[in-house]
Structure 1
Amino acid sequence: MKKLLLLIIAAAMILVGCSTEAQLEKNDGEKTAQEQKSGFPVTVKDALDEEVVIEEKPEKIISLIPSNTEIVYALENGEAIVGVTDFDNYPEEAMSKEKIGGMEFNIEKMISLNPDLVLAHESTADTAKAGLQQLKDAGINVVVVNDAQSFEKVYESIEMIGQAIGEPEKAAELVKNMKNSFAELKKQAEAIKPEEQKTVFVEVSPAPEIYTAGKNTFINEMLELIGAKNAAGDMDGWAKVDPEAIVERNPDVVVTTYGYYTEKPIEQVLARQGWNNVKAVKDQQVYDVHSDLVTRSGPRLAEGAEELAKTIYPDVFK
């Protein structure tokens, strides 16, 4: 009888073991299927060539630059953002998020927000290196997004963020829409004859330290796209310019990009000493466009290019 009892107990233990093993296999199977469906885990290679493994779709995101924030919202994941910089102003909902600093970031506050993902930026990665390492040491995923200075690089930023937050398809669709918008503008620009092309000086910061957009910037790319000549096309990047040099270049049009942040930019240019003989000033061809649309490397660049086109060639782009 004792022997029979032992056999019964052993059989029961085997059944329990088999049942447990089957349940574990089922759970593993369900987990694998869920991972395949969500696309996670993913490995993102960021702007610093670091591979960041993100196990699950981030539910709490902190963005360290406005362009990253705009991209996340454009990918319909704005509700996941829990922290932004003092400079974030679009969309309107972003302004109500927790602020984590401006030129310097409050790392302690960022950690207290318990984010799954921090979207940093290549332009500040070096100065914020110690702080970003602190976040990593706290077990937070940090992806450094590239400092985009061309349309193609902006597409890369969108795709990188799309991969990191589990929205690669939406990122691909957003890039496609931007490309279509640029293509439409380029097609319209074909109506501009070479002799009708205007020389444009784009002023991205006012006197006394005037900066412009030279080659290797997306503003230069926009001007080329819409059939305009960049008066600073021989300069590289975001370049400081002497006011007298602009007078010598004698642009047909002057476009400022800081009216959103500075009062009366057009009046400043028209009243600038020594500029009364500049063609753009004489002909009253001085305009201001929305800074964020043309200088922020995000999804609204296509809108910026359209605004620039309508400003310079109102008869062509309607």
Structure 2
Amino acid sequence: MIKRLLTLLLISFAPQVFAQVTTVTDVLDRQVTLDLPAKRVVLGFYGEDYMAIGTEKSFDNVVGMSKGIWEKWRPANWAMYVAHRPSLETLPDVGKVDTQTFSVEKVISLNPDLLVLADWQFKGLGNDVNRIEDAGIPVIVVDYNAQTVERHVQSTLIIGQITGQEARAEKIAKQYQDMVQLVADRLAKANLPKPTIYAEFGFPGTKEYGYTFGKKHVGCDVGNGRR
């Protein structure tokens, strides 16, 4: 009887045993203290990156996301992921920052222990971030839109911390850095003239015009030889 009670107690406290209070420095140099690995996560962006780094199992702990950014912006990609993991379809949607449909109330109602936002989402939400944090929900910012190796690597390592996949994140970050350096070295050696580049984001489909891009985008970075 005593042995059975001890077993039940161990099972009951298992999450607390494995959770560890950790301070994470996000891409905005904000110090965020929380229990990791996170057990209930709301994702603002970068669902594919989160899954690639944290493995598919990491999505077992995702309780909500800004689905439109993935589903509407990259519908073919979204459809492939849903075909593989149908539970994505039923994840609660918290809305989009860029269309002013992001719902702070929805985020809070999901009772997450972490909200992960892109840099542009964090800045777009403004004071609403304070409302989320005042509700006891830590907010961590990552950034794969910066188009810099440094921020991409930092974001990868942060997601590794969040998901408890630090070793995997370090391996991915190193592979990424090595490949970027390899391409840069080959381009320098080739010494070719820089091409003219046109970039368009046509997510509405072939029947509608997409977006063209200004100076702050990967297209400009490629054209200028930036990495």
Counterpart mapping for 1:211-226 below 5 A: 211-212=212-213, 214=215, 217-221=217-221, 223=222
| Identity between Structure 1 and Structure 2 (%) | 21
Deviation at 1:163?
A: 2.1
Deviation at 1:127?
A: 3.0
Q: How many angstroms apart in 1 are the aligned matches of 2:137 and 2:65?
A: 16
Match of 1:185 among 183, 186, 193: 183
Please state if 1:88 is matched with 2:70. yes
Deviation at 1:187?
A: 5.2
Counterpart mapping for 1:1-318 below 5 A: 34=17, 40-65=20-45, 67=46, 69-75=47-53, 76=55, 77-85=58-66, 86-89=68-71, 90=77, 92-93=81-82, 95-96=88-89, 97-102=91-96, 103=99, 104-146=101-143, 148-186=146-184, 188-189=186-187, 192-194=190-192, 197-204=193-200, 211-212=212-213, 214=215, 217-221=217-221, 223=222, 230=223, 233=224
String of CA shifts for 1:135-170, please: whole Å, max 9, x gaps.
Answer: 212211211224523122111111222223332222
Point out where structure 2 has 5 or more consecutive residues left out of the alignment. Answer: 1-9, 72-76, 203-207
CA 1:114/1:188 → structure 2, altered by over 3 Å: closer, same or farther? same
String of CA shifts for 1:234-258, please: whole Å, max 9, x gaps.
Answer: 9xxxxxxxxxxxxxxxxxxxxxxxx
Secondary structure of the equivalent of 2:171?
helix
* Mapped contact 2:36–2:162 kept (Cα < 8 A): no
* Mapped contact 2:39–2:61 kept (Cα < 8 A): yes
Counterpart amino acid of 1:128? L
CA 1:126/1:202 → structure 2, altered by over 3 Å: closer, same or farther? same
Larger Rg: 1
* Structure with greater contact order relative to length (CA < 8 Å, sep ≥ 6): 2
TM-score for the superposition, normalised by structure 1? 0.50
CA 1:208/1:83 → structure 2, altered by over 3 Å: closer, same or farther? closer
Secondary structure of the equivalent of 1:98?
coil
Deviation at 1:191?
A: 6.8
TM-score for the superposition, normalised by structure 2? 0.67
Counterpart amino acid of 2:21? P
Deviation at 1:119?
A: 0.1
Q: How many angstroms apart in 2 are the aligned matches of 1:200 and 1:45?
A: 38
